Amino acid sequence: MLIIEFLKNLWRFTENIVKVLICFTVRLWRALPFPPSCRFYPSCSEYALTCIEKYPLPKAILKTIWRILRCNPISKGGVDMP
Protein backbone atom coordinates (compact mmCIF):
# COMPACT_ATOMS: atom_id res chain seq x y z
CA MET A 1 0.00 0.00 0.00
CA LEU A 2 2.80 2.38 0.86
CA ILE A 3 4.49 1.77 -2.49
CA ILE A 4 1.28 2.52 -4.39
CA GLU A 5 0.81 5.82 -2.55
CA PHE A 6 4.43 6.70 -3.20
CA LEU A 7 4.03 6.01 -6.93
CA LYS A 8 0.82 8.06 -7.10
CA ASN A 9 2.54 11.00 -5.42
CA LEU A 10 5.56 10.63 -7.68
CA TRP A 11 3.30 10.67 -10.76
CA ARG A 12 1.49 13.80 -9.55
CA PHE A 13 4.78 15.54 -8.84
CA THR A 14 6.23 14.57 -12.22
CA GLU A 15 3.04 15.58 -14.03
CA ASN A 16 3.06 19.00 -12.36
CA ILE A 17 6.70 19.61 -13.28
CA VAL A 18 6.07 18.63 -16.91
CA LYS A 19 2.98 20.88 -17.03
CA VAL A 20 5.00 23.83 -15.75
CA LEU A 21 7.74 23.20 -18.32
CA ILE A 22 5.26 22.93 -21.18
CA CYS A 23 3.45 26.12 -20.10
CA PHE A 24 6.78 27.94 -19.84
CA THR A 25 7.78 26.77 -23.33
CA VAL A 26 4.45 27.81 -24.86
CA ARG A 27 4.60 31.24 -23.20
CA LEU A 28 8.19 31.67 -24.39
CA TRP A 29 7.08 30.77 -27.93
CA ARG A 30 4.26 33.33 -27.75
CA ALA A 31 6.70 36.02 -26.63
CA LEU A 32 8.75 35.67 -29.83
CA PRO A 33 8.01 38.28 -32.50
CA PHE A 34 6.17 36.08 -35.00
CA PRO A 35 3.05 37.36 -36.74
CA PRO A 36 -0.21 35.63 -35.75
CA SER A 37 -0.96 32.89 -38.25
CA CYS A 38 -3.30 30.43 -36.54
CA ARG A 39 -6.51 29.67 -38.40
CA PHE A 40 -8.39 28.75 -35.26
CA TYR A 41 -9.86 30.59 -32.32
CA PRO A 42 -8.44 30.36 -29.71
CA SER A 43 -4.93 30.22 -31.16
CA CYS A 44 -3.06 26.93 -30.97
CA SER A 45 -0.85 28.18 -28.15
CA GLU A 46 -3.84 29.37 -26.11
CA TYR A 47 -5.57 26.05 -26.83
CA ALA A 48 -2.52 24.18 -25.51
CA LEU A 49 -2.43 26.23 -22.30
CA THR A 50 -6.17 25.70 -21.75
CA CYS A 51 -5.88 21.94 -22.31
CA ILE A 52 -2.99 21.68 -19.86
CA GLU A 53 -5.05 23.46 -17.19
CA LYS A 54 -8.25 21.51 -17.90
CA TYR A 55 -7.20 17.90 -18.64
CA PRO A 56 -4.77 15.30 -17.33
CA LEU A 57 -1.37 15.61 -18.99
CA PRO A 58 -1.58 12.70 -21.49
CA LYS A 59 -4.99 13.85 -22.78
CA ALA A 60 -3.84 17.49 -22.94
CA ILE A 61 -0.78 16.55 -24.99
CA LEU A 62 -2.81 14.42 -27.41
CA LYS A 63 -5.46 17.12 -27.89
CA THR A 64 -2.76 19.75 -28.48
CA ILE A 65 -0.90 17.60 -31.01
CA TRP A 66 -4.17 16.88 -32.85
CA ARG A 67 -4.95 20.60 -32.96
CA ILE A 68 -1.50 21.51 -34.30
CA LEU A 69 -1.79 18.84 -37.00
CA ARG A 70 -5.11 20.36 -38.11
CA CYS A 71 -3.70 23.90 -38.23
CA ASN A 72 -2.48 24.03 -41.82
CA PRO A 73 -3.20 25.92 -45.06
CA ILE A 74 -5.85 23.44 -46.29
CA SER A 75 -7.86 23.65 -43.05
CA LYS A 76 -10.81 26.03 -42.82
CA GLY A 77 -10.04 26.86 -39.20
CA GLY A 78 -12.75 28.49 -37.12
CA VAL A 79 -13.78 28.25 -33.50
CA ASP A 80 -12.47 25.13 -31.75
CA MET A 81 -12.76 25.20 -27.98
CA PRO A 82 -10.92 22.57 -25.91
Evaluate if residue 34 carries a pLDDT over 90: no
| pLDDT for position 7 | 93
Q: What is the mean pLDDT of the chain?
A: 91
In degrees and rounded to multiples of 5, residue 35 shows phi and psi of -70, 150
pLDDT mean over 3-17: 93
Evaluate if residue 25 carries a pLDDT over 90: yes
Distance CA 74, CA 77 (A): 9
What does the domain layout of the chain look like in residue ranges?
A: 2-74
| pLDDT for position 35 | 85
| pLDDT for position 20 | 95
pLDDT tens-place string over residues 42-60 = 999 999 999 999 999 999 9
Task: For residue 38, give the amino acid letter.
Answer: C
